[in-house]
Amino acid sequence: MSSNTWTSTEVASEARELIEDTWRAVEAQHRVATMSLVDSLAEQAQLEALLDTSKPPIPAAALGLHWLLFTPFRYPTSKYGSRFRRPYDPGVFYAAYDKSTACAELGYWRWRFLTESPSLGSIDTLPQTLFKAALRGRAVDLRRPPFLRQQNAFENKTEHGYCQAFAGVAREAHIDAIVYRSVRDPARGGCVALLTPKAFAKKEPVAAETWNLSVTLDRVIWQKSDVLQPEAFEFPASLWK
């Protein structure tokens, strides 16, 4: 294989079946925000339905999925794209094998937002949802040979061009998911970039938890909202500087 290019045939030859449960973290303010505008659950349902009509259509391949699963495939990305998505590519569902890794990934972007907002000294503690999604499909694992030869390119913390180009080739090879190592998690936990909603093994999340996220310039703290089974993760910002 070339040191800096991949063909769809080469990528397809490295595909293996992926059967995994993965975790994803998202903000949990979606229904709380609309409830403050209405007087009853019935009115809230009507408002949610009205708001939904103004959103981009759900891709055909994602119809029937729970909104937590289809949302990443519904909206365009930024003009810069994301790690495995060019600005014009279809959606990507990013998740992690472990809760701590999912928290590190989202926590980094919340901290990054704070550092780029000079008027803010911190972000108020807000509820977040961690949910587990079952995946099944054809995947390539960038943590293994032959992809390790380009480890530095795949794990670049700021430049995503190489990863985006690789994802384009993976789509041509009919790859459903890309497994890779987190660059935000100090434990370097495993992550998955799901390239198609067809690779969800179940139409709904298989588990969900409520956590609280606190962000300052110095650290990010996650605390599970569960008095019987408390959990917490803390990430010093020095890890990301």
Distance from the first to the final alpha carbon of the chain: 34
pLDDT for the residue 104: 98
Residue predicted with more confidence, 76 or 32: 76
pLDDT for the residue 30: 61
Q: Which whole number is the average pLDDT over 198-226?
A: 97
Per-residue confidence at 87, pLDDT binned at 50, 70, 90? very high
Alpha-carbon distance of 211 to 230, in angstroms, equals: 10
Instruction: Report CA-CA distances (Å) from 59 to 6, 48, 65, 172.
Output: 28, 19, 10, 19
pLDDT for the residue 50: 76
| CA 167 remoteness from chain centre | 15
Q: What is the pLDDT of residues 151-208, one digit of tens each?
A: 999 999 999 999 999 999 999 999 999 999 999 999 999 999 999 999 999 999 999 9
Place of tokens 């943590």: 143
Instruction: Specify the pairing of strand 122-141 against strand 16-27.
Output: antiparallel
Q: What is the pLDDT of residues 90-129, one digit of tens each?
A: 999 999 999 999 999 999 999 999 999 988 999 999 999 9
pTM for the model stands at 0.91
Tokens linked to 10: 């080469």
pLDDT for the residue 78: 87
Q: What is the pLDDT of residues 3-53, one digit of tens each?
A: 458 999 999 999 999 999 999 999 986 656 666 777 788 867 777 777 666
Alpha-carbon distance of 176 to 194, in angstroms, equals: 6
Tokens linked to 207: 């588990």
- What are the helix (H) ranges across the chain? 8-13, 30-35, 41-53, 67-74, 99-115, 151-154, 161-172
